[in-house]
Amino acid sequence: MTEDETATPPGARLAADPRLPADLRLIEALADGLPLTSHPYAELGRSLGLSEAEVLERLRRLLAEGVISRLGVIVRHHELGYRANAMVVWDVPDELVAGIGQRMAAFSFVTLCYQRRRSPPLWPYNLFCMIHGRERPTVLTQVETLTHSCGLLDVPRQILFSRRRFKQRGAWYGAGSVATVAECA
């Protein structure tokens, strides 16, 4: 359900967008968390000098444009019993990475999947996926499923389970508040 073929390189699309400042303030104010009150959008708008209708209209547009990838309840995996959190990385030939990434993303147990720039010699890996599971053996089985299904048996791979979480919260753009970027570690 989630292959995103329209993904653009970071920063390429909106950097010159003149609408950004107001939208940015809204995103930041919102991502700090909607107030848990009867009229949360009106309350959000009051702090930004926007009417409730303007807030709703802007949010609809930001969602439609894909600037906001989702609006809703943001859960903490660990507290809900998903304690086996693996970042799996592969060193895939550049010409194959898009096809393999899209195939990988179709597996329901893959929470996030993306390509990142390599940083040799320490880090030759370019394809990343995140799997959040309850038990480590299940996650390892899922990694083997991915490896076989995507033809990656001979591709260098690492599995990095998380140990301690030192910080998890929304991102911060410098306007005094926070937003969550879908770029989870």
Partner 1 sequence: MEDLERHLLDDFQRDFPLTPTPFADMAQRLGVDEAKVLETLRVLKAEGKITRVGAVVRPGAVGASTLAAMAVPEARLVEVAEMVSTYPEVNHNYQREHELNLWFVITTPSQERLQAVLTDIRDRCRCPLISLPMERSYRLDLGFGLAWT
Number of other residues whose CB lies within 10 A of the CB of residue 29: 23
User: Does residue 61 bind partner 1 (CB under 8 A)?
Assistant: no
Q: How many CB atoms lie within 10 A of CB 105?
A: 16
Produce one character per residue of 140-173: b if its CB has 16 or more CB atoms within 10 Å, e if not. Answer: bebbeebbeebebeebebeeeeeeeeeeeebeee
- Cα end-to-end span (Å), the chain: 22
Q: Is 169 an interacting residue with respect to partner 1 (CB under 8 A)?
A: yes
- Shortest reach from residue 153's CB to partner 1, in Å: 20
DSSP-assigned beta bridge partners for residue 127: 90, 115
Task: Considering the complex, state which of residue 50 and residue 129 has its C-beta at the smaller distance from partner 1.
Answer: 129
| 47 versus 168: smaller Cβ distance to partner 1 | 168
- When asked if residue 93 is in the footprint of partner 1 (CB under 8 A), the reply is no
Establish if 110 lies at the interface with partner 1 (CB under 8 A). yes
Q: What angle do CA 112, 116, 119 make, to 5 degrees?
A: 140
Q: Which of 48, 96, 116, 137 binds partner 1 (CB under 8 A)?
A: 116
Least Å distance between CB 154 and partner 1? 21
User: Minimum distance from CB of 138 to partner 1 (Å)?
Assistant: 11
Could you give the angle at the alpha carbon of 107 between the alpha carbons of 102 and 113, nearest 5°? 50
Q: Is 39 in the site for partner 1 (CB under 8 A)?
A: yes
* Residue from the set 10, 18, 49, 137 that interacts with partner 1 by CB under 8 A: 10
Does 167 engage in binding with partner 1 (CB under 8 A)?
yes
